[in-house]
Each structure stands twice: as C-alpha cells, then as structure tokens.
Structure 1
C-alpha cells in the first residue's frame, strides 16, 4: 500500500466512550486532499450461544460542511430528551421491578397494576 493510502486510514485525533456493551469511537481522519472529517463508530458486543462473542459496528461520516446543522439538531434533540425525561436512566431505575421471562417474551413486570389500569385483552381488539 502506498503512503497516500496509509494517510487516508490514519487517525489524526481519537476519543473513546465506553458505555456498557457499546463503545463509541470518535476519530478525526484526513481526506485525500488532506482536509479533516469525523467518523463516529458504534461498536456493540454480542455473545453467541457457545460463549464466543462478536461485534456489530455502525459508522457515521461527518464532514465539516455538515457540522453546524448536525450540532444544532443533536443539541435540540438531547435538550428535548432531558427536558421531557430528565437525566435519570429509566431502564436502570426499573430493573429491580422486572424479572426475566423464560418464555422468550422479554421482561415481565412484577409490580401490581395501578388502580386506574384497564386490562385489555388483544382478543377484544
């Protein structure tokens, strides 16, 4: 591979955010014209039945001409979520209220239903 090919792959500046099973990689890279762009990679770890594991990766390429719009919308969306739901992570808060289902249907709530809850059978719909 030529030096030019190596230059395209070189990471100029990198940061890593580890978040449980997910890891986010923020990498500044150089174009062929030696301009910079950002890649954001989400890597998520999965485990096979035999105990081995593998990663699924998703990547976003973000170029300078899109920074302002991206930043503005990202800030608007994160502000909305925090204003609506606060900073507490709901799934962690409710973990103690759920037990795993062994029938492959996900988590099952162990709390009793509130008094104003209407039990609807899907057969009725």
Structure 2
C-alpha cells in the first residue's frame, strides 16, 4: 500500500467552529509550490446501523479568489441580516403575541 503522507499539505492555521450538529473547520494549508490556500470543511456525525461516520463537505479556496469569495459571502450575510432576519423577528413577535392570553393583553398597562 502506498504511503499518502507525502500528499499531506502543511497546515499553517486552523480554526474550529462547533455549530449544533455540525462542526466547521477553516484551515490554511501550503501548496507544493509553497503557496497557500484555505479549506472550509463542514463535518456532520451521521448514524447508521453499524454505528456512525462523519459526512464531510469541503471547499478549496485559492488566494486569487479570496476577495471575490469574501465579497460574495459578506453580501450574502448582509442580505440575510438586513432583509430576512427583520422579517423573521417581526413574524416571530406577532406569533408570540398571538399566544398571549387576551385577558393578559387587556390588563397590561
């Protein structure tokens, strides 16, 4: 069996984010030519009859794409925060108000 250790890239930086059932890894690695790139990995523990395994999805992001990727990511997050979250919060407030007994609303000063 061939040894894969020669294919491993040196890890320069790593950040782990635990988010519910998922864990995200942000890693900076070197290329064969001494350059660097970022990998973003989503890892999720999946159970089956034989136990469990980790389902992983990975994005390789090369430095020439960093600015475009960051711009698109920021625009996407800003859209969610500015356009979608206010609607969800507003809708959630209306929903929670509808669950308050009428008597309590009338007696509230």
- Superposition TM-score, scaled by structure 1 size: 0.61
Residue matched to 1:31: 31
Moved beyond 6 Å, runs of 4+: none
Distance in 2, Cα, partners of 1:61 & 1:75: 18
Residue matched to 1:121: none
Residue matched to 1:80: 79
Q: Where do residues 3-42 of structure 1 align in structure 2 (5 Å cutoff)?
A: 5=6, 8-42=8-42
Tell me how many residue pairs correspond in the alignment: 88
Give the CA deviation at 1:49.
4.3
Unpaired runs of 5+ in structure 1? 94-110, 112-125
- Superposition TM-score, scaled by structure 2 size: 0.69
Identify the structure with the greater helix proportion.
Answer: 2
Residue matched to 2:63: 64
The higher relative CO (CA closer than 8 Å, separation ≥ 6) is in: 2
Distance in 1, Cα, partners of 2:66 & 2:54: 28
The RMSD of aligned alpha carbons is: 2.7
Unpaired runs of 5+ in structure 2? 93-98, 100-109
Give the CA deviation at 1:23.
0.5
Look up the SS of the partner of 2:58 in the other structure: strand
Change in 2 beyond 3 A, CA 1:2/1:19: closer
